[in-house]
Structure 1
Amino acid sequence: MEPVNISELTQWFVDHLILGVLILTRLSLLLMAMPAVGVGVPKRVRAILAILVTTLLMPAVANLTSSEALPRIDNLIDLTIAIAREGMIGMLIGATVQLIITGMQLGGEAITSTGGMQLGDAIDPTTASSMPSIARLVGLLVTSIMLAVGGHRLVLNLLLDSFKALPAGQIEFSDSMMTLVVDQLTAGMIAGIRVAAPVVAALLLANLVTGLVSRTLPQINVLAIGLSINALSMLIVLALTIGSAGLIFQDELAQVAVRLGKLW
């Protein structure tokens, strides 16, 4: 039996330790930016989840990564830069999905402001700021749909594909990554407009009818009637069209996978 070379064993352990730190960094930033996980899940649970998934990804990622490309443990500057780059890639993957949900929540805010329901605001745990209840409802709806259709598995598959295209320690940034963020921001805004369009159109029609009634019957208290008609119209149309938010989000989530696939 050949004796074990202590120096080779030590180097193997150090290389895998550095690789594990890089994988953990990319995964941790992904979980922080990912909907339904970054907020609402205790930090201890997120830490355990990140360590568990890192352990599962280690064998597959080790086959895709060359040990010579990993930063040396004695070069703290290169190691710090490599960790920062891993974190930015993980945040990029998670933010692409979060931007869609944020854009759709802006659609909920447009519905609230058009319907004159600004008093029903509440603190949103994601942004720690005041947000209308309808916007929170849309955000919770699309987040639950993402988990129901397997969006979390899609995000993890995108993470694994990123290690194939951008191995740990060999990340190079390009203009296409910034273009992807801008495209996702635009797609999120468009999705929010698509969600809010039916309700806003109904509210504008209700305001037009209220204006015609006030011109015909000036003795009626238009302010009280107008608020009631707006609230009733908003609730009826929102109840009929809220399901479209899930369909829109599924389409946009599929587009996220396509865009990230092209980027890799």
Structure 2
Amino acid sequence: LTYFVLALGSELLLGIVLAIGVRFLFASVQLAGQFLGFQMGFNMASVMDPQTGGQSSVMAQFLYLFMVLIFFSVDGHHIFIRALSYSFEVIPPGSFELSASIVGGLVKVSNQMFVLALKLAAPVMIGLFLSNLCLGIVARTVPQVNILMVGFPLNIGLGMILLGLTMSSLAPFFVSIVKSMGQVLMMILQGP
């Protein structure tokens, strides 16, 4: 009976580790949305996130739901199930231990989460940075203009336009993220 309980705990821990790996992929998209929401001025408006129970940016929720839509449309759940079945070949049932190499794999994936978030948000953030730079120059040259009243709608409108323009390239990028999920999970299981 004790072996059964230990094996059950071992498999539960393995499932948690794999779920954390997949969660990191979705968290990178949410983090990119947080970056964009902050740059666009949506940080004052937030929505309730039912998954975490906290508040999140409107852009983070939008990109997260878009990622979930793509995840299921390209059979991401099947990729996860295949990776889960492959874990039985790599780690026999009941023998999973949380080793330093697995923790190292999780750390490596979490590091890639931030890089991925910056890659996703970079085109829009660069455009918004240039917009803010131009607004700063206008504010210095023409102090009579109320930049605050011009800046908020301009950043939101420009951010939405840039996001709309980059959406056609974001969708294939999301697809590649989902398709690389199997390799990410294997990297976690095999360590760095």
Q: TM-score, normalised by structure 1?
A: 0.66
Q: How far apart, in 2, do the equivalents of 1:162 and 1:205 lie?
A: 47
- Superposition deviation, residue 85 in structure 1: 1.1
Which residue in 2 is equivalent to 1:176?
Answer: 101
Which residue in 1 is equivalent to 2:90?
Answer: 165
Which residue in 1 is equivalent to 2:60?
Answer: 135
Using a 3 Å threshold, how does the CA distance of structure 1 residues 251 and 179 change in structure 2: closer, same or farther?
Answer: farther
Q: How far apart, in 2, do the equivalents of 1:92 and 1:142 lie?
A: 21
Please give the residue correspondences for 1:182-197 in structure 2 after superposition, counting only pairs within 5 Å: 182-197=107-122
Using a 3 Å threshold, how does the CA distance of structure 1 residues 97 and 244 change in structure 2: closer, same or farther?
Answer: farther
Alignment partner for residue 245 of structure 1, among 170, 179, 182? 170
Please give the residue correspondences for 1:1-264 in structure 2 after superposition, counting only pairs within 5 Å: 73=1, 76=2, 78-261=3-186, 263=189
Using a 3 Å threshold, how does the CA distance of structure 1 residues 117 and 136 change in structure 2: closer, same or farther?
Answer: same
Q: How far apart, in 2, do the equivalents of 1:100 and 1:176 lie?
A: 20
Q: How far apart, in 1, do the equivalents of 2:172 and 2:111 lie?
A: 18
- Superposition deviation, residue 209 in structure 1: 1.1
Amino acid at match of 1:151: G
The answer as to whether partners of 2:22 and 2:185 remain within 8 angstroms in 1 is: no
Using a 3 Å threshold, how does the CA distance of structure 1 residues 247 and 188 change in structure 2: closer, same or farther?
Answer: farther
Q: Deviations over 1:140-164 (max 9, x none)?
A: 1111101101110111111111112
Stretches of structure 1 lacking an aligned partner (at least 5 in a row) = 1-72
Stretches of structure 2 lacking an aligned partner (at least 5 in a row) = none
- Superposition deviation, residue 200 in structure 1: 1.2
The answer as to whether partners of 2:6 and 2:94 remain within 8 angstroms in 1 is: no
The answer as to whether partners of 1:104 and 1:189 remain within 8 angstroms in 2 is: no
Structure with bigger gyration radius? 1
Q: Identify which of structures 1 and 2 has the higher relative contact order when contacts are C-alpha pairs closer than 8 Å and 6+ apart.
A: 2
The answer as to whether partners of 1:195 and 1:244 remain within 8 angstroms in 2 is: no
Amino acid at match of 1:120: A
What is the root-mean-square deviation of aligned Cα atoms in Å? 1.8
Q: How many residues align?
A: 189
Amino acid at match of 1:211: G
